[in-house]
A and B are shown apart, each in its own frame.
Chain A
Amino acid sequence: MESATGLNALFDRHRAELLRFLRARCGQDQEAEDCLQELWIKASQDRAGPIANGRAYLFRMANNLVSDLRRGQLRAMRRDRHWIEAEGEVDAPELRPDPGPLADAALIEREEAEVLAQAIAALPPGARRALQLHRIDGHSQAQVAEIMGISRSGVEKHMAVAMKNLRSALVDCGFFGAAGSQQQGRSEAAALRPDDMT
């Protein structure tokens, strides 16, 4: 009892809601439960002291955990893709020479930056400005609204235009890889799990 910090107690109270959220966010139960487990660990390690709205804080942590997970999956997928692109699929993996992952990563990063730069340049001025203020300079939605002299829903519209265009640019150029097959891979992994246990 005494080991449970405020956040841990909050975690216990909201556990069911958090799991429901993680299931919806992950689209997959096993992943959601892994995330919940990690959230619990993070919550017990948290030394942030009293938090104004602990429930929202936990949800935000959960949300960020999933985003971090996806980021890691993207990185892993890019590594895999480079194996295939560099060597073709003919050789067995153990016969492949080291494809020089660092050089490949640098190349894909450069291409990605170029694609993003072009997409940002092509944005309507308002969307570009909102994007810069929010995503680059780190201003909140309310601050962006104030700086640009527009309403919060105006910021929302600009950001939707900006994010939609940048997403399309990245997806169209294949930077998220076979996004669909990633999802597929995940459900396959889930389907395989019971077999692993037997």
Chain B
Amino acid sequence: MSGDLDSIIDQAAAWQLASAGDDMDWDGFTRWLEADPRHARAFDELELTADRVEAHRDTLMPAALPVAANDEEPIAPARARGGWWRWTGGAVAAALAVAMVVPRFMTPDPAVYVTTGQSRTIALEDGSRIELAPRSRLEVGGRQQEQLALAGGAWFDIRHDPGRAMRIRAGDVTISDIGTRFDVQATQDSTRVAVAEGKVEVASAALVAPVVLARGTALQIDPGNHSAQVQRLEEAQIGTWRSGRLSYSNAPLSLVAADLRRYAGVKVEVPESLANRQFSGTLVIGDGTAALRDLSRLMDLGLERGAAGYSLSARSR
């Protein structure tokens, strides 16, 4: 009488959305529930679904996810495809002008990969491989799989193809001219690119001009501190998370904490006063709390467990 399950779920979703508002029609809702016992069932399921989304919010939407419309040129949001997935520029615009008639064919929907507790390997059609770190997200779009967007961490092993202009957007940077193996870590606060083999070009609003990174170098950009620095790194230190270790040389503590959260799943607060203390060394990820204990010992910091996770503090002597 009141339609199939699909339309029942639609109605239930509308009531659920309305029920959060001040102008909810509770009498209308009561009558809708009374009309068919399946209505209450559908509403229950949507409430449980919402509860599960809420319960997993930290893993579902990593803090590192860039948020649309704040950090990009203003485009009418309703027109934008895919929120933070937005590639604009002369070449794309020109291509669109030609492709207007069959836009679906010319710009296929990007494939989206999301990880929670485990990393996963993504193979591109040309044989390139990407290892997506835990609690990260990668979008692969473009006809040649040449438009990538990363939030979180990933190890890239990309075949060099001069005929393809691959670009990877990650945090505050755009990586191009790629033919190499390199590691990218993009969080809300900072972005790191480290090259183990070959070279890449990195452009960013934080840089006056694009930087070419060669083998054994890393670039770290912290927009908050207005800092960007290039550093030499042992190749063996790059992408070590893949073998269960995190290696650092002179890395700010805030960054180590962000990594521990992503790779070891432990939440740790770093007070402002310690955020820029530098750490060099290797942590074993396997047991997150053990890694954290090692870190606190190596740096002679206090470690406390609170309701929301752990916190590091300067040791009073």
Contacts and interface: CB of A to CB of B under 8 A. Distances in A.
Interface of A: 17, 20-21, 24-27, 52-53, 55-56, 59-60, 63, 66-67, 70-71, 74, 109-110, 112-114, 116-118, 120-122, 125, 128-129, 131-132, 134-136, 140-142, 147-150, 154-156, 159-160, 163-164, 166-167, 170-171, 175-176, 179, 183
B46 A163 contact: yes
B10 A164 contact: yes
Q: Provide the main secondary structure of the chain A interface.
A: helix
B167 to A, nearest CB: 19
A60 B20 CA distance: 8
Interface stretch (B29-37, B153-161, B197-205, B290-298): B29-37
A110 B43 CA distance: 25
Interface in B44-59: 44-57, 59
B97 interface: no
Given A122-B112, A163-B13, A110 B117 contact: yes
Counting chain B residues whose Cβ lies within 8 A of the other chain, the interface size class is 35 or more
Contacts, number: 145
A158 to B, nearest CB: 10
Contact of B26 (A21, A171, A183): A21
B148 to A, nearest CB: 15
A25 B45 contact: no
B124 interface: no
Contacts of A129: 68, 83
A20 B17 contact: no
A132 B61 contact: yes
Given A71-B48, A116-B52, 12 more contacts: A21-B26, A21-B29, A21-B33, A25-B43, A63-B19, A117-B114, A121-B112, A131-B53, A135-B53, A156-B13, A164-B9, A170-B49
Interface of B: 6, 9-10, 13-14, 16-22, 24, 26-27, 29-30, 33-34, 37, 40-41, 43-57, 59-61, 68-69, 76-78, 81-83, 85, 112-117, 137
Contact of A121 (B14, B51, B54, B114): B114
A125 B107 CA distance: 14
A116 B14 contact: no
A125 B83 contact: yes
4 interchain residue pairs of minimum CB distance: A24-B33, A125-B82, A160-B13, A121-B112
Contact of A183 (B41, B53, B57): B41
Nearest to B16: A163
Contacts of A148: 77-78
Given A114-B116, A156-B17, A175-B52, A21 B45 contact: no
Contacts of A164: 6, 9-10, 13
Contact of B24 (A60, A128, A135): A60
Contacts of A142: 21
30 contacts: A24-B40, A27-B41, A59-B24, A60-B24, A67-B48, A67-B51, A71-B48, A109-B56, A112-B56, A113-B59, A113-B117, A125-B83, A134-B17, A135-B53, A136-B57, A140-B21, A141-B17, A142-B21, A149-B76, A149-B77, A154-B78, A155-B17, A156-B13, A156-B17, A160-B9, A160-B14, A163-B46, A166-B49, A179-B41, A179-B45
A135 B59 CA distance: 14
B30 A117 contact: no
Contacts of B21: 140-142
Nearest to B110: A125
A20 B19 CA distance: 17
Nearest to A166: B49
Contact of B45 (A66, A155, A171): A171
Nearest to B32: A24
A67 B40 CA distance: 11
B43 A176 contact: no
A117 B77 contact: no
